[in-house]
Structure 1
Amino acid sequence: MRNNKIGIIFLSILLVVIGIWSIQVKVGIVPFTDRPTRELVDKLSNTVIFDLFRYITELGSSSFLIPFVIVMVFVLLLLYKHWFQALLFVSAIGLTHFLNVAIKLITTRERPSILVEAHAEGYSFPSGHSMIPMVCYGLVAYFIGRKLPTNTSQIVFQSGCGLLVLLIGISRYVINVHYLTDVIAGFTLGFILLMGSVYIYRKFEQSPTRGGEKSNP
Structure 2
Amino acid sequence: MRNSLLQFIYKLGRLLRDKFHQYNPGLPYLITILVALVIVVLGINLFIELTDTLESDMLNAWDSRVTEFVLSYRNPALTKYFIFVTDVGDVYGYLAILVIATILSYFVFKQWKYVLQIVLVLALASISNVILKRFIDRARPSIEHLVTVETLSYPSGHAMSAMAFYGFLIYLVTRFRMNRFLKALCITALVLFILSIGISRIYLGVHFPSDIAGGFIAGFIWVIFCILLFNVIELFRRDPKT
Q: For the superposition of Structure 1 and Structure 2, which TM-score range results when normalised by the shorter chain?
A: 0.7 to 0.9
Provide the residue aligned with 2:18 in structure 1. none
User: Aligned match of 1:20 in 37, 49, 52?
Assistant: 52
- Map 1:79-94; keep pairs closer than 5 Å: 79-94=108-123
Aligned-residue offset at 1:129: 1.0
Give structure 2 stretches of 5+ with no counterpart. 1-30
Gap change, CA 1:48 and 1:166, over 3 Å in 2: same
Deviations 1:160-203 (A, max 9, x none): 11111111111101111111000010011111111112222223
Moved more, 65-74 or 9-18: 9-18
2:218 paired with 1:189: yes
Partner of residue 44, structure 1: 73
Higher relative contact order (CA 8 A, sep 6+): 2
- C-alpha change, 1:74 and 1:85, in structure 2 (3 Å) is same
Match of 2:197 among 153, 163, 168: 168
Query: In the alignment, does 2:162 pair up with 1:133?
Result: yes
Q: Can you list the C-alpha shifts for 1:119-160, whole angstroms capped at 9, x where unaligned?
A: 632111111111101111122222244334223322221121
Q: TM-score scaled by structure 2?
A: 0.70
Q: Select between 72-81 and 97-106 the one with higher mean Cα deviation.
A: 72-81
TM-score, normalised with respect to structure 1? 0.77
- Between stretches 129-138 and 43-52, larger displacement belongs to 43-52
1:215 matched residue in structure 2: none
Amino acid paired to 2:238: P
Q: Is the 8 A contact 2:138 2:154 kept in 1?
A: yes
Residue number in structure 1 paired with 2:7:
none
Stretches of structure 1 lacking an aligned partner (at least 5 in a row): 211-217
8 A contact 1:114–1:120 mirrored in 2: no
Distance 1:203-1:74 versus aligned 2 partners, 3 A rule: farther
Q: Spell out structure 1 runs of 4+ moving beyond 6 A.
A: none
Q: Rg larger in 1 or in 2?
A: 2
Instruction: For 2:51, give the aligned amino acid.
Output: G
The CA RMSD measured in Å over matched residues stands at 3.0
Q: Give the Cα separation in 2 of the matches to 1:160 and 1:198.
A: 21
Aligned pair count reads 202
Match of 2:238 among 187, 205, 208: 208
Cα distance in 2 between the residues matched to 1:203 and 1:79: 25
